[in-house]
Amino acid sequence: MYLAHRSEDGREQSILEHAKNVSELCAEFAAPFGAEELAKQIGLAHDIGKYSEAFQRRIRGEDIRVDHSTAGAQEAGRRIGAHAAYCIAGHHAGLPDGGGSADPPGAPTLHGRLKKQAEPCGAFSAEITLDSAKFRFPEMLGRGGFTVAFWIRMLFSCLVDADYLDTERFMQGSTPPRGSDLTAEQLRERLDTYVTRWDAPDSELNRVRQEILHACMEAGEKQAPGLFTLTVPTGGGKTVSSLAFALHHAAAHGKKKIVYVIPYTSIIEQTADKFREVIGEDAVLEHHSNVDFGDDENGAPDTKKERSKLASENWDMPVVVTTAVQFFESLFANKTSRCRKLHNLADSVIIFDEAQMLPLPYLIPCVRAIAELVVNYGASCILCTATQPALDGMFREISPSLSPVEIAPSVPSGIFRRVRYEHLGGLSDGELAERLSEHRQALCIVSTRKQAQVLFKLLSKDGSFHLSTLMTPEHRSAVLETVRRRINDGLPCRVVATSLIEAGVDVDFPVVYRAEAGLDSIIQAAGRCNREGKRSADESFVYVFRPDDSYTAHLPHSMKRPTETMREVTRDAAIIDSPETVRRYFETLRRYVGEGMNTGSVVSRFEAGFKAWEYPFASVAEKFHIIDDNTRSVFIPHTEKAKELAELLRRGERSRSLLRKTGKYSVGVYDNQFRELGERGALEPVEENLFILTDPSLYDAETGLSVPDGGAGVFA
């Protein structure tokens, strides 16, 4: 028997059995985008390199290395095609670059590997018959290269997930529970039951919120799958309304899951908690870098967390809440662990919350990826925000059929107008602190961590609070809880924060001050003022001010350009947050940024590979990072729980669960701050990018980590 796997307890799985299992799963995964026959052949072929005599000696105990993936890719390339060769060559190490015809044998590119002298594996033909499967290319968008590369990555996703699942089942002797059997119809019923509590609105504002909710439910059922916008002013209930559209749409059109994409980890937890409240904990997977899938609080195995951990590997859950970083970097990844979930985006409903936060440096490839999902993979995608980034022109350039349909109904003019904007001109820190001190409750949002700390120290400590990324996530959560309680109780509450508070954080202040920024940021900040409409707009002010030049001189160009564009488009605007002004802002900003929206020339590089199948999978994946994070993590043992974790780290424990837990108690510092902390002897190295703060005096209970330059880094 030709062996594919041997388990620790001595059981053996043949290559033929494994190939058939993977083939069936692979075909099932590819069916939503019409590639089941091709995927079936790729699944059959993926391990034919294991038929070599050398691999059979290795699996029976001989200590030799055998490259079975390259051998399989060569055979599959001849019999099925280059698309199969890419998938099989990369099914362990990741999709390779295509390279070129000049690549020497053995080069790490596909061309180089196809020329390599591989172990003969012709014995496979006695058990497995490979055909040049009939298939239909996706609808070609642009020049076609990006479309085909995207298609190969989706086929690759089907293969590696099927391979992982069957190998896992064999090695463990059973199929571990993951995901959920809940249907879209069942979840829609849960949502419909939940929202009945709002059937008798007690105010005009709540009546309009309910109107938006019911419009979303109706549109979900009646609208054919495609591309949508959901434009709901802050305070209009877009979180639940967007979920309502998604569940009704999924139930009506047989969509298999909902993926909710959020820009910041700082707001993802509250969104996931809301969804659990609406449709149940058993339906929602929260997947981002700060999620702990480890043991329970007593150190015992947690079956719920283990189920979620397994589901996070391939997004096998009805509702997935994730970050834009996780979503888009996975779409342009080449590694098996990042790509195996991608096939589950086909035939799904994908909501991009705070769509104006789509990463500007990568806007062109991100919009192109959304277009591929809608046109070729049966996904319905919704751009959900109070400030639509006006992407309809970009989508129509990709395909004339891509014209977004607005879901939200027209609402009475001014019903959500809860604030008045006023520009105060330049303000020094002293002048700003004096103004804030005159308010019983006020929020001030600035653009740098340095100004947040300096300004906070000028305020009376009675009822004043600070929020920035120089505080650990656990510390920030505790402060936000205190802030919400004081606001609700009518106690003095003045908060100085960086922009982390302005997108989706549920707080309600009578007045907000915002340092000059992009127009979308200013409008998002205004969403923290008079959020519940308890006061008239005439007594709820959003004051925009120009901070001291010392804070703005060294801002990156990515922050300066939106501010300059905001000044330009609002100079003569009667209403700065009108849809017309917002549209002009985004169109002007994109015109100025130009090729800056296509960092790394991602789309054009894939387009160029079309004729010779020379796609740069590996090199694009290496450089495609939504957040160019040039910080290092400093673990702050400032609570009893954090001190316990620090001791475990010092004893040499390095489990994935433990390292995830450290995220709640860590702060990212920039290179100059890191060097200064190191020169002070205040850092104890733990991992390459993780250090423990050894001087507790450098972490302030109110403002977080103190570094010599005051934390001049910009929050990103």
pLDDT digits (tens, 9 = 90+) for 597-631: 999 999 999 999 998 889 999 999 999 998 766 67
546 pLDDT tier (thresholds 50, 70, 90): very high
Angle at 68 between CA 67 and CA 69, to 5 degrees: 95
Q: Which amino acid is at 48?
A: I
Cα–Cα distance, 209 to 238 (Å, whole number):
9
Cα–Cα distance, 166 to 144 (Å, whole number):
33
Q: Are residues 436 and 565 in the same domain?
A: yes
pLDDT at 413: 65
Cα–Cα distance, 489 to 472 (Å, whole number):
26
pTM: 0.90
pLDDT at 504: 67
Would you state the structure tokens that stand for residue 427, as one six-digit string? 């303000």
pLDDT at 711: 41
Cα–Cα distance, 309 to 573 (Å, whole number):
50
The percentage of the chain sitting over the pLDDT mark of 70, rounded to a whole number, equals 96
Which neighbouring-strand residues pair with 448?
A: 714
191 part of a folded domain? yes
Q: Which amino acid is at 453?
A: Q
Residue 690 phi, psi (nearest 5): -140, 125
Identify the weakest region by mean pLDDT among 11-15, 256-260, 505-509, 606-610: 505-509
Q: Are residues 7 and 153 in the same domain?
A: yes
Give the 3-state secondary structure of residue 151: helix
289 pLDDT tier (thresholds 50, 70, 90): low
Q: Are residues 388 and 433 in the same domain?
A: no
Q: Are residues 272 and 367 in the same domain?
A: yes
pLDDT at 298: 47
367 part of a folded domain? yes
| Residue found under tokens 């043949």 | 14
Which helix or strand (DSSP H or E) is residue 228 part of?
A: strand 227-231
Average pLDDT, the chain: 91
Identify the weakest region by mean pLDDT among 142-151, 250-259, 550-559, 605-614: 550-559
Q: Mind listing the pLDDT tens digit for each residue in 443-496?
A: 999 999 899 999 999 999 899 999 998 999 999 999 999 999 999 999 999 999
Mean pLDDT score, 628-656: 88
Please count the structural domains in the chain: 4
479 part of a folded domain? yes
Mean pLDDT score, 268-273: 87
Cα–Cα distance, 160 to 140 (Å, whole number):
25
Cα–Cα distance, 102 to 118 (Å, whole number):
19
506 part of a folded domain? yes
Cα–Cα distance, 397 to 198 (Å, whole number):
41
Query: CATH number for the domain including 464?
Result: 3.40.50.300
Mean pLDDT score, 572-586: 90
Q: Are residues 261 and 370 in the same domain?
A: yes
Burial of residue 151, with CB atoms counted within 10 A of its CB: 0-12 exposed, 13-18 middle, 19 or more buried:
buried
Longest C-alpha distance within the chain, in Å?
Answer: 85
181 part of a folded domain? no
Q: From residue 127, give the alpha-carbon distance in Å to each of 1, 22, 29, 124.
A: 11, 15, 24, 6
Q: Mind listing the pLDDT tens digit for each residue in 275-284?
A: 999 999 999 9
The whole domain housing 669 covers: 632-705
**In the listed set 120, 140, 172, which residue is the last one of a domain according to the structure?**
172
When comparing pLDDT for 453 and 305, which is higher?
Answer: 453
603 part of a folded domain? no
Give 3-state DSSP helix, strand, coil % of the chain, rounded to 5.
50, 15, 35
